[in-house]
Amino acid sequence: MSRSPGIDKTERRAGGYLAGARAAVPFALATFALGVSFGVLARSLGWGVVAPVVFSVIAFSGSAQFAVAAVLGAGGGAIAAVLAAVLLNARFGPMGVAVAPYLKGGPLRRALEGQAVVDASWALASRGGGRFDREFMIGATLPQGVAWIVGTVVGALGGDFIGDPEKLGLDVIFPAFFLALLAEELREARAIVVALIAAVLALSLVPFVSPGVPVIAACAAAMLGLRRSS
Amino acid sequence: MSTLWVTIVVVALASAAIKASGPVLVGGRDLPPRAVAVIAMLAPALLAALVVTETFGEDRHLVLDERAVGVAVAGLALALRAPVLLAVALAAVATALVRAFV
């Protein structure tokens, strides 16, 4: 074992990726099940095998892909489908700004590293006070990406062995996890107030706007961070 | 078929652009303190919004269904200091049971 600082740094970084990957395993399992159900759904819409798999590889965006399937499946056009997907993914804009100072390299590499921003990884990598753990986030996204793509392949090939993921209660895995991550964020009174405002804002908007918009609008509650703490 | 492929490619490009925008525009600069103060509150805001919309939202409707039972069970388990994985597993089991038997 060398003790040179360079190697120590590399080891620590590798440890960060690994810790992130490990923390994301439960999310990856749920993502796999969702991937299978996306593949099955795409098959039922007559998309074949290649299109849904390519979609999962190049978009890697569960909620947006389900939205596209819903819009196109209901006879909607490309523009409506793209709009639904963009609204659902709009939250990744502010999330990307938040992690930006912690990413590395020039614009191209930063753009690439920014692709690792997904809800679970971003929240897992949040270290409080607006700080983020880059290695942890990227490490957490990798198993989820693999699970999503492999799940899509299995589902698209007709491996409908999971059946309805809702029957197993798998659809509550994400909100339940997000609740656990939220609990860890509520260390100060201000965060609790922000969370309450965001929740009320999001819920009150659901009946009036497209899915995705309530979540992005609820980000406005974070403006409370501007108030001087007394 | 072409509608599908156009949609797939455009959604992928748009999604990549959204995710790239922050990192590219901000670059490696430290954000001003006021921006950091807002970003520090972004996680609680986003997570709270995701929890409630994924629990009570169904397209453009608010619904109270089996998901609420599961998330409530998770909340209770977490309040009792259960490990996160146990709380999430209990949520899934509770939701599945209510769906099967109620």
CB pairs under 8 A between A and B: 298
pLDDT tens per residue across span B9-67:
999 999 999 999 999 999 888 889 999 999 999 999 999 999 999 999 998 999 999 99
* Cα nearest neighbour of B41 on chain A: A222
Specify which residues A132 forms β-bridges with: A126
Query: What is the ipTM, given to two decimal places?
Result: 0.91
Q: Give residues 34 to 53 of B whose Cβ lies within 8 Å of A.
A: 34-53
Closest to A135 (Cα-Cα) out of A6, A25, A17, A8: A17
Question: pLDDT tier at A192 (50, 70, 90 boundaries)?
Answer: very high
Q: What is the pLDDT of residue A160?
A: 63
Q: What is the mean pLDDT of residues A148-174?
A: 84
Instruction: Evaluate whether A104 touches A75 at the Cβ level (below 8 Å).
Output: no
Which residue's entry shows tokens 């690439």?
A112
Q: What is the mean pLDDT of residues A46-68?
A: 94
Residue A55 forms contact with B (CB below 8 Å): yes
What's the whole-model pTM score?
0.86
How far apart, in Å, are the Cα atoms of A101 and each of A106, A120, B26, B27?
12, 19, 7, 7
Contact B36 A221 (CB under 8 A): no
Least confident of A24-33, A71-80, A164-173, A176-185: A164-173
| Chain B residues within 8 A of A25 when measuring between CB atoms | none
Question: pLDDT tier at A182 (50, 70, 90 boundaries)?
Answer: very high
Q: Give residues 112 to 131 of A whose Cβ lies within 8 Å of B.
A: 112-115, 117, 119, 122-123, 126, 128-130
What percent of chain A has a predicted confidence (pLDDT) above 90? 69
Q: What is the mean pLDDT of residues B89-102?
A: 93
Contact B40 A128 (CB under 8 A): yes
Residue A7 forms contact with B (CB below 8 Å): no
Ramachandran angles phi, psi of A118, nearest 5°:
-130, 160
Q: What is the mean pLDDT of residues B75-82?
A: 96
Q: Give residues 132 to 161 of A whose Cβ lies within 8 Å of B.
A: none
| Chain A residues within 8 A of B75 when measuring between CB atoms | 179
| Chain A residues within 8 A of B46 when measuring between CB atoms | 91, 95, 119, 123, 198, 215, 218-219
Residue A29 forms contact with B (CB below 8 Å): no
Q: What is the pLDDT of residue A135?
A: 97
The count of other CB atoms within 10 Å of the CB of residue B23 is 28
Contact A117 B19 (CB under 8 A): yes
pLDDT tens per residue across span A101-156:
999 999 999 999 999 999 999 999 999 889 999 999 999 999 999 999 999 999 99
